[in-house]
């Protein structure tokens, strides 16, 4: 097994453990669901920073010769996922009405919208040409899960 696949496998294992641990510690379906849904984005961001799998996939898919440009796109996407995920998880787990001067319900709303926009952009970039229905349907399900986190 190569190094990148080993990292991805460890990330998935950590993801599964975190969902179970969240439920055991909080007894909250909402918080566990948030970890399950948002965790995918969080660990995808981590994967973007630790491996070159997304860079290599985009280079081969779009025949782009400027590897630095693709790395920048993947980095921006990773930061987008990371910041939106952390904001959403924080808004789900906090008992406060405001964080950093912002209403928690607005943080939750804008984080969900941000991740939905990210999902749409990523789907269009990677799965539409050539058309791959299963990943597209999976991303539609992720959008549905994000919408379910809105109050």
SS3 59: helix
Q: Which residue has the higher pLDDT, 34 or 1?
A: 34
What pLDDT, on a 0 to 100 scale, did the predictor assign at position 121? 95
| Beta bridge mates, 103 | 98
Q: In which band, very low, low, confident or very high, does the pLDDT at 142 lie, cut at 50, 70 and 90?
A: very high
The residue among 114 and 50 whose pLDDT is bigger is 114
Counting runs of H as helices and runs of E as strands, what totals does the chain give?
A: 6, 2
Mean model confidence pLDDT for the chain: 89
User: Does position 15 have pLDDT exceeding 80, yes or no?
Assistant: no
| Gap between the Cα atoms of 67 and 126, Å rounded | 17
Q: pLDDT tens digit string along 54-100?
A: 999 899 888 888 999 999 999 999 999 999 999 999 999 888 999 88
CA triplet 106, 98, 25: central angle to 5 degrees? 95
Cβ atoms of 31 and 68 closer than 8 Å: no
Question: CA distances (Å), 53 to each of 57, 107, 133, in order?
Answer: 6, 31, 21
**For residue 1, what pLDDT is reported?**
63
Above pLDDT 70, what percent of the chain? 99
pLDDT tens-digit profile of 118-129? Answer: 999 999 999 998
Rg (CA), the chain: 16
- Closest by CA to 90, choosing from 144, 122, 42, 43, is 42
CA distance 11 to 44: 9
Average pLDDT score over residue span 104-122: 96
Q: Which span out of 26-35, 45-54, 60-69, 135-144 was modeled with the highest average pLDDT?
A: 135-144
- pTM here is 0.85
């Amino acid at each position: 097994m190569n190094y990148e696949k080993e990292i991805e496998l460890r990330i998935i294992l950590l993801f599964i453990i975190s969902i179970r641990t969240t439920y055991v510690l909080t007894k909250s379906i909402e918080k566990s669901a948030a970890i399950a849904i948002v965790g995918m984005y969080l660990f995808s961001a981590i994967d973007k920073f630790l491996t070159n799998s997304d860079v290599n996939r985009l280079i081969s898919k779009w025949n782009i010769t400027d590897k630095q440009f693709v790395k920048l796109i993947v980095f921006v996407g990773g930061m987008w996922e990371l910041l939106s995920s952390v904001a959403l998880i924080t808004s789900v787990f906090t008992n406060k009405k405001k964080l950093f001067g912002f209403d928690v319900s607005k943080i939750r709303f804008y984080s969900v919208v941000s991740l939905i926009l990210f999902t749409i952009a990523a789907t269009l970039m990677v799965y539409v040409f050539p058309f791959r229905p299963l990943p597209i349907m999976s991303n539609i399900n992720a959008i549905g899960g994000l919408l379910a986190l809105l109050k």
